[in-house]
Amino acid sequence: MAGNSGGPWGGGGGSQGGGNGRPPQNGGGGRRPDDNNQIPEIDELMKKGQERLRVLMGGGGNSGRGTGGGGGQGPSFGKGTVGLGIVALVGLWAFGSFYTVRPEEQSVELFLGEYSSTGNPGLNFAPWPFVTYDVVNVTSERTEAIGSGRAGNDGLMLTTDANIVDIEFQVVWNISDPAKLLFNIAEPTETVQAVSESAMREIIAASNLAPILNRDRGLIAQTAEEQIQATLDEYDSGITVVRVNLDKADPPREVIDAFREVQAAEQERDRLERQADAYANRVVAEARGQAAQTVQVAEGYRARVVNEALGEASRFSAVLTEYQKAPEVTRRRLYLETMENVLGDVDKMILDQSLTGSDGGGIVPYLPLNELRRGEN
């Protein structure tokens, strides 16, 4: 009657026929033997998964809803894993939040993309992900070279007297305010180059060629530094111009030989002009000295003549006064003085006849030997 059981393991009415050595039969619905073994394992796995999920979500691990001993091992494994995970997350968060700023640097901290503060050298804390930071070197000097030797022909500039000069210079700068640099300037290097070239062209356009090549090189560098700094300050760039080095200020290479010849001719012209000026100054000074001397001599002559005239007039007035007092005495004295002036140098002796008389009057004539000897000498 085995053949009427309805299948190879019999399909009968819910009773188990294990006593006859056949495989046990499942009387509920005709399942196959393989399905009968897999379904409990899947249920067990699902229960374990639900239990671990409850542990992760903070629920109790040992709810008693597990199956036998498997429910007791799940909660202890989950706590350790979660603890390690939390520690790892905290470590990663701290690693991303603490940072070091070196002495030559400064950091700019951003809170949700907005400027928050400036970090100083040392260990700084920026809680990630709310606060981020950028570290900028603020002490190192950066150099921007501008001129024909660096970038094409951008060093050729036009002067006031319509000449072209080839300029090469360097702009040395550093960062004074990293926050302004990061927020206000998109391309610092290109900005410094553009501002420097523009300032230098403005300065060169306001000057003649000769001063640029000779005496005004230092002044041009100083003026360029001031103008570049003023423009960058208008941009609120946070950049400080340290210095401007004017390396080269020459005519273009194509005309430099002719230019040097012109310069030599101009120098020769200047030398001759200076020589002529020196000669003119010397001659004019001598003429002025002679004129002054002549004027002084004339003044002296005038003063002497006037004084002599005044003296003669005064003497005449004195003689007149004396003459009015004693006319005969004065007349006699004037006669004697006049005769003394007229005959004073004559080597003769004139005797008054009234004194000598016709016979000699007692006066003994003598031979003046001493006077004759003096005349011979």
Average pLDDT, stretch 272-293? 97
Q: Tell me the residue length of the chain.
A: 377
Q: What is the pLDDT of residue 55?
A: 63
**Residue 171 pLDDT > 90, yes or no?**
yes
Q: What is the pLDDT of residue 72?
A: 47
Q: pLDDT confidence of 223, banded at 50, 70, 90?
A: very high
**Residue 128 pLDDT > 60, yes or no?**
yes
Q: Could you tell me which residue, 52 or 126, shows the higher pLDDT?
A: 126
Phi/psi of residue 158, nearest 5 degrees: -100, 135
Average pLDDT, stretch 226-237? 94
Predicted model pTM: 0.51
End-to-end distance of the chain based on CA atoms, in angstroms?
A: 209
**Nearest CA to 133 among 96, 103, 161, 163?**
96
**Nearest CA to 154 among 98, 197, 202?**
197
**Residue 342 pLDDT > 80, yes or no?**
yes
Average pLDDT, stretch 332-354? 81
Q: What is the pLDDT of residue 42?
A: 63
Average pLDDT, stretch 238-266? 89
Q: pLDDT confidence of 152, banded at 50, 70, 90?
A: low
Helix/strand/coil for 248 = strand
Q: pLDDT confidence of 198, banded at 50, 70, 90?
A: very high
Q: pLDDT confidence of 6, banded at 50, 70, 90?
A: very low
**Residue 260 pLDDT > 90, yes or no?**
no
Q: pLDDT confidence of 58, banded at 50, 70, 90?
A: low
**Residue 298 pLDDT > 90, yes or no?**
yes
**Nearest CA to 241 among 253, 251, 254, 230?**
230
Q: What is the pLDDT of residue 103?
A: 87
Scanning the structure block, which residue is given the tokens 């003023």? 230
Could you read off the pLDDT of 16-53 as tens digits, one per residue?
Answer: 333 333 333 343 333 444 444 545 566 776 677 667 66
Q: Which two tokens stand for residue 146?
A: 């501008």
Q: pLDDT confidence of 204, banded at 50, 70, 90?
A: very high
What average pLDDT does the chain have?
79
Q: What is the pLDDT of residue 235?
A: 93
Q: pLDDT confidence of 244, banded at 50, 70, 90?
A: very high
Average pLDDT, stretch 76-91? 80
Q: What is the DSSP string of 109-154?
A: EEETTEEEEEEPSEEEE--TTTEEEEEEE-SS-EEEEEETTTSTTT
**Nearest CA to 170 among 154, 146, 189, 153?**
146
Q: What is the pLDDT of residue 63?
A: 46
User: Torsion over CA of 362, 363, 365 and 370, rounded to 10 degrees?
Assistant: 150
